[in-house]
Structure 1
Amino acid sequence: MSKLEDAIENAKEALPNITPTPPGLKAESSVHDLKSRLEWGEPALTILDVRSRDVYNHGHIMGAMEFPMDQLVELSQKNFEYKRDIYVYGATDEETTEAARMLRQAGFVNVAELKGGLEAWKAVGGSTEGIDETRAEPGANAYNVVTNVKNHFERQEIDFQKP
């Protein structure tokens, strides 16, 4: 850790925590962790979808970049700093774990496996885009911000209670 990072960390610990902060990057992250960071407006992260291009085109997390497994390391090395916060997801948790392992072996130090992938993201009302997503009708509460925030926090509490 640099002297600046140490100073910031010490200052955070010395001051009372008046405003809650979103969770930091974890090796295994829930969709709630990512959603919280995005809702706080933390732009210093990248979301990678390692599924096939066809599957990606049909639906993916809004803003996610399509980096197929066979090009994942090469594209990442060309496009990102090794300290970049990267959330990665695949078709299964196993594929997600493999993609994260590949990135870590290539030297990327801030890689999070997004558990549950796209389906878990949709379950918490995360924004999506793609061919199938534009055809889907919005749910009854799609534009009810109060209900969506309430549901998000209720699901987060359930997620934290799981062993």
Structure 2
Amino acid sequence: MEIFFELLPQAAPFKPRSRVFDLKSRLDWGEPALTIVDARPRAAFNECHIMGAIPLAADELVARAQVNLEVDRDIYVYGETDEETEAAAASLRGAGYKRVSEIVGGLAAWKAVNYEVEKTAVAV
């Protein structure tokens, strides 16, 4: 019976740095126990963001995360650049979050492979 379970497909393992393909694999696998955090300014988030991401801008990231996210939750984070992503991830890790993964290439990489994005309607 053990061999049968070894042959079943499995989701990609959690890593401290993830390619967009890794995150998409988890989403396609149907694993709901993760959160995608967009650490860019709210205006950038409203323009376009990874489908299902939540806005937690870098300047309020830790304070809002502490209110809304469990410290052992799988968190995938991205910013404008890989450097901003790394800084946001470091802030979360410094606040005690244990499972934080940096999405390498962020939104640009996500869009480059034509994965689904959302735009927030803004009243004019």
Provide TM-score, normalisation by structure 2.
Answer: 0.92
Query: Are 2:22 and 1:15 aligned?
Result: no
The answer to whether structure 1 residue 115 and structure 2 residue 99 are counterparts is no
Aligned to 2:95: 106
2:57 corresponds to 1:68:
yes
The alpha-carbon deviation at position 127 of structure 1 amounts to 1.1
The structure with the largest strand share of the pair is 2
Partner of 2:113: 124
In the other structure, the counterpart of 2:19 is: 30
Runs of 4+ in 1 over 6 A off after TM superposition: none
Whole-Å separation in 2 of the counterparts to 1:41 and 1:48: 18
Cα distance between partner residues in 1 of 2:120 and 2:30? 26
| Structure 2 gaps, min length 5 | none
Q: Which has the higher helix share?
A: 1
Q: CA deviation at 1:19?
A: 1.4
Return the offset for 1:15.
2.1
Select between 75-84 and 15-24 the one with higher mean Cα deviation. Answer: 15-24
- Report the TM-score, using the length of structure 1 for normalisation: 0.70
SS at match of 1:48: strand
Alignment of structure 1 residues 34-73 onto 2, 5 Å:
34-73=23-62
CA distance, structure 2, for counterparts of residue 131 and residue 22 of structure 1: 30
Q: Once the 2 structures are TM-superposed, how far is the Cα of residue 93 of structure 1 from its aligned partner?
A: 0.1
Higher relative contact order (CA 8 A, sep 6+): 2
Alignment of 1:81-160 (within 5 A): 81-130=70-119
Rg bigger for which structure?
1
Counterpart-to-counterpart distance in 1, 2:105 and 2:24: 13
The CA deviation at 1:22 is: 1.3
Return the alpha-carbon distance in structure 1 between the equivalents of residues 38 and 54 of structure 2: 6
User: Partner letter of residue 110 of structure 1?
Assistant: R
Structure 1 letter corresponding to 2:13: G
Q: SS in structure 2 opposite 1:86?
A: strand
